[in-house]
Structure 1
C-alpha cells in the first residue's frame, strides 16, 4: 500500500499560497464583498435505494440542508442482477437543476455552481461561484473495511482481525486507506499554487483523531485514544475540520454521523463521526450542522430520512476582498 505523504511537504506549499487566495480567486469588478457557500457531505446508501425511500427523500435532504455544493458517496442505486446500477447522482442533479461531476467509483460532486474543470484523476472539481471567485471541491469515499473501531471493540465485520492497541489501529487504518488519501492529497498539492479555496468532503470510514481523545476514553465514549491517520493527514496538509472548528468539544457535541439505523447502545455497533467537511483556512467556517432523522441526533431534521449516514453541512464565508488602489 502506498504510504501517506509526509505532511510537512504539503503544509508550506498551501500556507504560502493561501494568503493571496481571495485576490487570486476574485473578479475585481464583482467579488469585493464576502460570499457564503454551504458545503455538504452525504453518503446516499446505495443511491438512496437501500433506505427503501423514494428518491424524493434524498433530494429533500439536500434541499433542507440549503447546500450549494455536495460531495456524494454511494451514488449507484440498486439494480437487478446483471443490470447496471442507475446513477442516482445524475438524477439528483437533474432534479435540482445543478451541475454534476461523475468521479467514478460511485462518487460524485453536484453543485448549483458551474463545474469548469476537474483534477486529472477527478478527486476534485473546480467551481465558478456567482461572484466570479473560483474554488475546488474534493470528495472521497475511503475504504469501508477493515473497520478499525469494530476491530478494537471485537465486533465481527468483513473478516477483520481484532486489534488490541491504538498503534495497531493506526497501522491498520493506514494500510486500508493510506493510498487513497495520498492520491487525493497529491491532486490537492498539484493545484495549490492556484491559491484557490479548497474543501474536502467525504465518508472517511474512519473516525477523527479529534474525537477519540483521552477525555472521550475516560468518559466511556470510545475505548481508547487513537490518532486516526486519515483526518490527521488531511489536516496536516492545511485543512480545518469544519465541524470541530465550530464545535471543538467532542463530548459536548459528538456530531455522530454513523449511524441512524441502530440504537446508540447496540452492542454490535459503535456510533461515530466518520463523515467530514474540511476547508482551507482562507475561508471562515461560519457554521457546521448535522442533518439527520431526529432532533436528538441532528441540527437539521428530515423525515423520513433515507440514509444509513447522517450528513454534515458547513457554511463557509469567503472574506471581503480589499479594493485595489491606483498603482497596485
Structure 2
C-alpha cells in the first residue's frame, strides 16, 4: 500500500533561517566594523588516528592545544571511530578547561578544524580531500582550508632506497636492495611515481575551486609530500637525498598560484632550518619510522596563506625535537629551530606546525547573483509557497514570478507575480496552484533573470508523499546556553501504521540519506517528533540544513526535503520563544530610530538585529528595562529581524527600514 505523508518542521528553542549559503560576508553597521588587520594563530596537527595510537592520546592532544593556545587548529586523521564525533570530544575536553572553540567538520573528510572565532560557512572540495570554512574574526572574514592528501606514491622514499607505495616495481614499502638500501635517483622515475598519487589532482582541484576568491585563504594540512623549497641543491647531499634536486609538484603548484609557505617564509634557509615534521618521536611508542635504514626526515606538514597585504609574523615547530634517523631517535639538526610544547608528552608520528598570520580586513564584495529558495521541494495543494531571497540591489519593477512546466519568462504566461519591495525578504506567494512542476523566478521589469530560478512541485497530499516547511522560514540562534536545544518535527502518515519510520536531518550538501546529522524514530501515525540537537548543530556549524521522513527499510525517502538555515554556529538553547505580537516596535517602517517596548511585567535584557542572511549587525545588553529606542540610521533600506531578550525568553519580529 502506498504511504502518504506530510511533514512540518517546528523549531523550539533553536531558531533557524532558511536561505542559500553564499560566500560573501554581508554588509554590517559601519560603526561596529573592525577594519584593522588582525593577528590570528594557527596550528596544523596530525593527531595519528585520533590519538588512539598512543596511551591517553585525547588528553595529550588537549594538553598540547592548551599549551600552544592557537586561535584555529587543523586536525588530520579524524576518523570518528565507533560513531563518536571526535572533534566534538576535543571541544568538550577543552571547554572543561575553560577554552571555547567552534567546530568545523564536513562529512566525507578525515580532517576538521576548531576555531575561537565563529565559522560562518563550510564546504568540501570536489575531491573530498580538503574542507573549507569561512571564519568571521571580529569582522575580518577569511577562508581556512584543511587538507589531508594521498599518502601513497610517496616518492621521496625512492632516493632513500625504499619503495614508495606506488606502481610496480615500487609498490609496497620494503627496502630496495640488500643489505643496504639502493637509492633510486632518476628524476623521471621519481616524478612519474610522485605524479601517480592523487595529491596533484587534489591540490589542482582546490586551486581551481578557490579561483576568484576575494577573501584571504589559509591552507593547512598533512600533504604527504616534501616541499619544492626544500629539496634544493643545498640539501642535495643531506638527509639521504643522495644528490636528488627536485621541485615537488604539490607545493610548487601552490607557490605558482601565489600561496606562501609560512614556515619557509619565516626561515628561508632550508639547511639551517629544515623544519622536519616527519617522523616524530611519539611518547612511549617506539619507532615511527617507515624506512628504518635511512634518514627519512622531511617537512610534509604545512601552513600556507594567499591574499593581498598578508604576512606571517611567527612560525614554529610544535612537538618534540626528536625525529627518527636510521631508526634511532635523534635531536640532530634541530638546534636552530623554534619549538613549542617540546617538553609535553607527544601523541603523534608527525610534529605540528604553528604560525601567526597578519590578516587584513577585506571590504565585502556585492553579490550580483544572490539566492532564492522555496519552503520545500514538494508542496501540497492549497498550501502557500514561501520563498526567501536576496539580491544585490532592488530596482523598480523587480518581481517574483511563478511559471508552470516548460513556460518561461518571455515564452509563456506566469501563474503568479509579486512585486518585490526590498532586496532581501521572506515572501508569501500563492496557495492556488494545481498539481504539477513549477519554477519561481526573480525578474527585472524587462523579464530578464536576476538570478537562476528554483524548481518545486505541487502535489496531491492525499495520494502523494509530501513535505511542508515552516511558514515563517526566518529564525536565528542565541549564544547563552549550549545544551538541550530541540527541533520539533510535525508529521502525518495518513494511511499506514508506523513501524520505525524516522526523521533525518542533514547538511544541505549531504548526498544520499545515510549519515544524518540528527535522526529520530516517529512513534505514531501523526504527531510531533522531538529530536535533541545537542551537540550536532553546535558542532556541524552554520549552514543550510534539510529534513525528510524516511521509511523503516533504511534510507528510502518518503517525502521531499524541507529546508532551514542555522544562523550562528553555537546553535544554543534559549528558552521560551514568545510571539512577535508581544513586542511593540514603532515606527514600522523606521528610518533613523526604532522604539521597542515589551508587554507589562517583562523587561529587556538584550537587543540584537540581523539581516535576512543571518548576519548579526547589532547586539546590545541591558540590565532590565521596559523600553528602548535604538539608532537605525546606519542600516540600509530593507527587511531585518529584531530579537529582544527578556527574563522569559526571546521575542523575534521583522522590522522594515525605509528612509
TM-score band, normalised by shorter chain: 0.7 to 0.9
Match of 2:149 in 1: 142
Q: In the alignment, which residue of structure 2 is the partner of 1:276?
A: 302
Match of 1:290 in 2: 317
> Hey, what does 1:239 align to over in structure 2?
259
**What is the Cα deviation at residue 221 of structure 1?**
5.3
**Corresponding position of 1:42:** 45
Count of residues in Structure 1 that have an aligned counterpart in Structure 2: 291
- TM-score under structure 1 normalisation? 0.80
Output the CA distance in 2 between the equivalents of 1:321 and 1:168: 44
Q: Is the 8 A contact 2:38 2:358 kept in 1?
A: yes
Name the CA shift for 1:291/1:25 in 2 (closer, same or farther; >3 Å): farther
The residue aligned with 1:116 is 120
- What is the CA distance between 1:59 and its match in structure 2? 1.2
Does residue 1:179 correspond to 2:201, yes or no? yes
1:281 Cα deviation after fit: 4.1
Change (3 A) 1:229 1:133: same
Kindly indicate whether residue 75 of structure 2 is the aligned counterpart of residue 72 of structure 1. yes
Task: Give how far 1:186 is off.
Answer: 2.1
Match of 1:14 in 2: none
2:36 match: 33
> In 2 relative to 1, CA 248–221 (structure 1 residues): closer, same or farther, beyond 3 Å?
farther
CA distance in 1, matches of 2:303, 2:187: 25
Structure with bigger strand share is 2
Which position in structure 1 is the counterpart of 2:231? 212
Larger Rg: 2
Structure 2: gaps spanning 5 or more residues: 1-24, 95-99, 171-175, 177-183, 282-286, 323-330, 364-659
Distance across 2 between alignment mates of 1:272 and 1:144: 14
Point out which structure has higher relative CO (alpha carbons under 8 A, 6+ apart): 1
Q: CA deviation at 1:149?
A: 1.3
1:164 to 185, 189, 201: 185
**Any idea what the Cα deviations from partners look like across 1:80-102, whole Å, max 9, x if unmatched?**
xxxx3643222112333311222
Unpaired segments ≥5 residues, structure 1: 1-22, 323-328
RMSD: 2.8
Give the SS at the match of 2:210.
helix
Contact 1:123 1:187 in 2 (8 A): no
Q: CA deviation at 1:68?
A: 0.9
Change (3 A) 1:53 1:180: same
Q: Deviations over 1:9-64 (max 9, x none)?
A: xxxxxxxxxxxxxx999985432333110112111000011122331110121222
Counterpart in the other structure of 1:304 = 345
